[in-house]
Chains A and B, each alone.
Chain A
Amino acid sequence: MAESPADAVAAQTAVARSPIAAAVPTVRDGWEVDATVAVGPLTLSDETPLAKVAVRAPFDGAARAALGVRYGRTGRVDIGGDRVLIAGAGPGEWLALGAPGTGSALVASLEELLAGTGEFTSVLDLTHGRALVRLEGAAAPSVLAGVCAIDFSDTVTPDGTALRTSVAAVVTDVVRDDRGTQRSGAAATGAVGVPSFLLHCERSSGQYLADALLEAGAGAGLEVTGFRGLEPSRG
């Protein structure tokens, strides 16, 4: 039986979905998220609902200075009144992560911030184009060692590191964003908090990447936990 146009309009409340299936789905901030709560210390959470905005600009110019983050590093910056995490995972490329639903506002704020630099820049909302997960726990580097050739020790990739690499054969931006550290202090001398990694890949590979991480972490007790958002991991 066909719906009437009125019915159709009434049913047009759109819910956004992550590419990673939720075991216990619930809706938060317009996104379907997982309500599962892990009990163990090693967790994987789907953070896809976070706003994800890409910035392109010269590698090391006024735009970089305005963003306050250089290539290979991350930083938390106040933009447009919101606290966002900016990662310089590629040369001349930055990814700004903000709270769910703030993508358009973040684009506008960044465009305003960069407009004064005089450089050729572009800002693009990729919230729907990328999958984002957080792997957290003391054993997180060990889990990553099963799927990635990079050395994730504190000395080589300390808190605040951003890099682009292959994780389980998927091009992935890896951002180390430890819990319980203050970037300006501990990160400079080595992590003292709980290792925590944001992994960011093209959306269509999100489920595969999550599955690969869960398989790699099965022996270490890796558990799925629900959406956590950007700030809860900060100590």
Chain B
Amino acid sequence: MSLLPTPRRPRAARPTDRADAERLPPRAGEVIDRRRTVGFRWNGTPYTGHPGDTIVSALAAAGERVFSRSYKYHRPRGLLTANYLDPGCMVQVGDEPNVRGAHRLLTDGMDVRSQNTWPSLRFDVRAVNGLASRFLATGFYYKTFIKPEVLWPAYEKVLRTFVHAGEVPPDSAPGHYDKRYAHPDVVVAGGGPAGMAAAVAAARAGATVMLVEEEHQLGGHLRWGGPAELARLAELRALVAAEPAIEVLTDAVVGARFDDNWIPVVARGIPGIDERLIKARAGALVVAPGLVERPYVFAGNDLPGVVLSTAVRRLVNLHAVRPGRRAVVLTANPEGDAAVADLESAGVEVAEVVDARRGEGVRAAHGRSGLRVVELGDGRRVEADLLVTAVGWTAPTSLLNQSGDRPVYEPRAARFLPDPTRMPENVLAAGGIAGDGDVDALVEHADAVGREAARRAGRSAGAAVTVPALPVADHPELFSAGTGGFVDFSEDVSAKDITTAAAEGYDSVELVKRYTTATMGPAQGKLETVNTVAVLAAATGRTIAETGTTTWRPMWAPVTLGALAGRSHEPVRYSPMQPWHERHGAVPLIAGQWIRPEHYGDPAGEVTAVRTGVGIIDVTPIGKLDLRGPDVAKLLNLLYVNKWSKLGVGRVRYGVMCAEDGVVMDDGVTGRLGEDHYLMSTTSSGAATVWEWVENWLQTAHPEWRVHVTPVTTAYASINIAGPRSRELLGRLTDVDLDPERFGYMQVRTGRVAGVDDCVLWRIGFTGELSYEVHVPAGYGLHVWERLMATGADLGVRPFGVEAQRILRLEKGHAIVGQDTDGLTQGFSAGLDGLIKLDKDDFVGLPELRWQRERDTAPRLVGLRPLDATVVPPEASQILDRAGGIAGRVTSSRMSPTLGRSIGLAQLDRELAEVGTRVTVRLPDGRDVAAEVTDPVHVDPEGAKLRG
């Protein structure tokens, strides 16, 4: 016995030498472009191929036979299916792991590496696992590492190093994943002859069609056929191209089918986009994926050189690659017979044709890093570097199962077939999955299916189309030679693992799946499920039909997290003055969707400017609701805790809203602009919530009230002019009479500002200073802002940001809802004692607030001053009671530029809330500081500044 020479080239060989080693002369159906050459590296060595080559076809053309090491035993693995499913061709490309090397097209400059092989693919030390395989049998994780439990993290760390998978470097560039929506009348899953025919028929019947094909070209098995098949392929492709209503997606996959034909389609190969997730809602789905050739289970069936007949035909006819030099072919069907012819035409010596239809068989394959000898059923041993198997088909019924169908096993055909009686109205099947026949029969059937799909999608009238039944051809049941071998190549699950699991009591196919992980690898059962069922059936003495199958769940093919996440839409909102803020160095603050100026470089200086002169702040994000109608006052009375019946025209009032449980929900001021016209403000973050709240009460509790609510938050650019010289500044630009006798505190006026009509002016004071909040029609916001800055230059006007505003309001003791309150803070815990009117007939939260008042045990909002004036306790620092228990927390704290000391607000237990009480504040670093409880108002407690 002599070993067959395996083509090898020294590592220093020129790339072109490698590239030509196994490349055949031009083939009629080849998809490579021989006029051009692309260069790439495989484990650091330069190679070349042609456009149209897959990574693996280019390597195979260069004579490479091993592309990976297996999952558990690190056995050498080569080509098996030569398509997307190929479990032995997973590679790393650049920083992208787990690339399907037998599917991914070659591009210039690709850096391709084998995954988790050390020190090399050719010599992988972890292959020692194979020697210990008797100890690594089914469930060895559970059996070996279950105790002691504390060591599991260590076990896990070691086990992970054995996993056959690629790496994602931490510095990987983010991918670009896209998402789109589509509403085709018909989605056709599968672009073989049946899929193409169905698509054309549906389009001709008036439907819009999305034709989805996993491969890079339409045509299915016609692509690797003879002249007649290629002629038919050209004809069908021309028909598809002639229908503008057909959108063809190649290198794309229908991932799943959900209720009402919600169909996710993952499309690849789009320039500039890694993957695109198309969320399609289809009127009808035609499932036409063809058939998946099934591997044969026998000893040595995973050796490089053992391949499926369709893989051989792809390599020879699509990529012009000679797959070996001397072959044995095990055939049970015409596809295997055709493979023999293809091999002979490619110059491969066919040493033996083993015809299973005559009862012949293969027992085992022998070799180390590749096939060397085939052991036949009659005991003969044949030297070969290629063993081709053609033993049958798996119907990939996943999409049908997800549609509610329960395909049934047909022993005569040795495969599962759909049960038409259980398929929903809007799902149909065409092609090999539905039955057998020549191309004419498949096309005729698919044509009827396509027309019927268009009809069911509502695109053509008339009676239901009669769909002819496809015949089912006899096929021998060939699953296993009974000599061992692998059932699941992705997970390294052997036939012995299945029988062992059955012997241990895992006799349900669902349990076997979980115990052995068979069918759970990247091929997701398309290569393995039926063999798993067959081996289990043999082990348990049941039939395949009795054994049943595992559940086919979404997705049809593994999908990247990037594709599922898609492009993220995260809206951002800008004030009209944003360009000015950016030009003047504002530090941006992300506040929900809003981008706001946090400060302009010196928040303490901004505070001082407001206290001593004048400053302006962009408060556009403050929520604003336009309220109109004769019943607005009733609405306000219902939603606010205070009274609104007597608010006069031209007046403004502060109000607080509580939920039904009395918890503070939002606050703001509302001004009465006219007899039946009000403008309500809310917190910036609460604008949408309050709008929904108001509408909810109006639409559900009081639909009889005549009130119209319109959100106008960004209809106005809002500018707060604050400081003792604010009146002077505003007075230079407005025709509104600002005399304090005629425009006093908590009043509202409308008028012209900086030449802009219809401005709304509120005299309110969140900062504690004399201030005017000017609401300008938003298109003029930047103009008015710029005029204020220019006109107030001699007054020292400064812009101030959110941080300065926070300090100013803290000095004044004004609480912020959501900061000085939380989701449990009821009204009397928010310092609203004077505001809440329990004598009102009703308002939202009234019963709870009455109970809170009666209990009088709730925490209180207090002022807080550390005794050490230089210490600013971080917000959320805990306040301790005398026993060391938690008695409260700091809700707001800052260094006050006005007082030159630290100040704060706190939620504190009732018994410690008296002014003058000494408390202990525990800082996050564990230190304790002493502090004194004060009135919440730290600056201008009399309010003289506000009312000035």
A residues neighboring B (CB under 8 Å)? 1-3, 5, 8, 11-19, 21, 31, 48, 54, 56, 120, 122, 124, 126-130, 145-151, 153, 156, 168-170, 202-205, 207-209, 212, 219
Contact = CB atoms under 8 A, between A and B. Distances in A.
A2 B791 contact: yes
B715 A203 contact: yes
B223 to A, nearest CB: 29
Q: Which 8 A-B pairs have the closest CB atoms?
A: A129-B715, A2-B794, A12-B755, A16-B779, A151-B183, A204-B573, A169-B569, A128-B777
Contacts of B180: 145-146
Contacts of A168: 569, 571
Given A12-B787, A204-B575, A149 B755 contact: no
B609 to A, nearest CB: 16
Given A14-B754, A17-B779, A153 B713 contact: no
Contacts of B841: none
B718 to A, nearest CB: 12
Given A5-B732, A14-B783, A19-B574, 13 more contacts: A2-B795, A8-B732, A14-B780, A120-B629, A122-B708, A127-B777, A127-B779, A128-B777, A128-B778, A129-B715, A149-B279, A168-B569, A209-B571
Given A16-B780, A212-B569, A2 B628 contact: no
Interface in B615-650: 620-621, 626, 628-629
Contacts of A147: 569
Secondary structure call for the A interface = loop
B711 interface: yes
A173 B546 CA distance: 56
B783 A204 contact: no
A15 B779 CA distance: 8
Secondary structure call for the B interface = mixed
Interface of B: 178-183, 208, 272, 279, 281, 569-576, 579, 593-594, 620-621, 626, 628-629, 706, 708, 710-716, 732-733, 754-756, 777-784, 787, 790-795
14 contacts: A5-B791, A16-B780, A19-B574, A122-B710, A128-B716, A129-B716, A146-B181, A150-B181, A153-B208, A170-B571, A203-B715, A208-B572, A208-B573, A212-B569
Find the residue from B626, B778, B791 having the highest chain A CB count within 10 A. Answer: B778
A13 to B, nearest CB: 6
A126 B712 contact: yes
Contacts of A148: 181
A81 B570 CA distance: 42
Given A5-B732, A11-B790, A169 B755 contact: no
A214 to B, nearest CB: 14
Nearest to A170: B571
Contact of B576 (A17, A156, A208): A17
A21 B712 CA distance: 21
Find the residue from B208, B571, B706 having the highest chain A CB count within 10 A. Answer: B571
A19 B578 CA distance: 10
Contact of B181 (A12, A14, A15, A149): A149
Contacts of A19: 574, 576, 778
A202 B792 CA distance: 31
Contact of A120 (B281, B594, B706, B756): B706
Find the residue from B715, B780, B782 having the highest chain A CB count within 10 A. Answer: B715
B629 A204 contact: no
A17 B782 contact: yes
Contact of B790 (A3, A122, A128): A3
A176 to B, nearest CB: 15
A11 B787 contact: yes
A202 B711 contact: yes
A154 B281 CA distance: 16
A2 B732 CA distance: 12
A223 B746 CA distance: 49
B574 A129 contact: no
B714 A8 contact: no
A200 to B, nearest CB: 13
A147 B306 CA distance: 48
A129 to B, nearest CB: 3
B226 to A, nearest CB: 39
Find the residue from A13, A124, A127, A130 having the highest chain B CB count within 10 A. Answer: A124
Contacts of B279: 149
Contacts of B208: 153
Contacts of A8: 732-733, 754, 787, 790-791
A12 B576 CA distance: 18
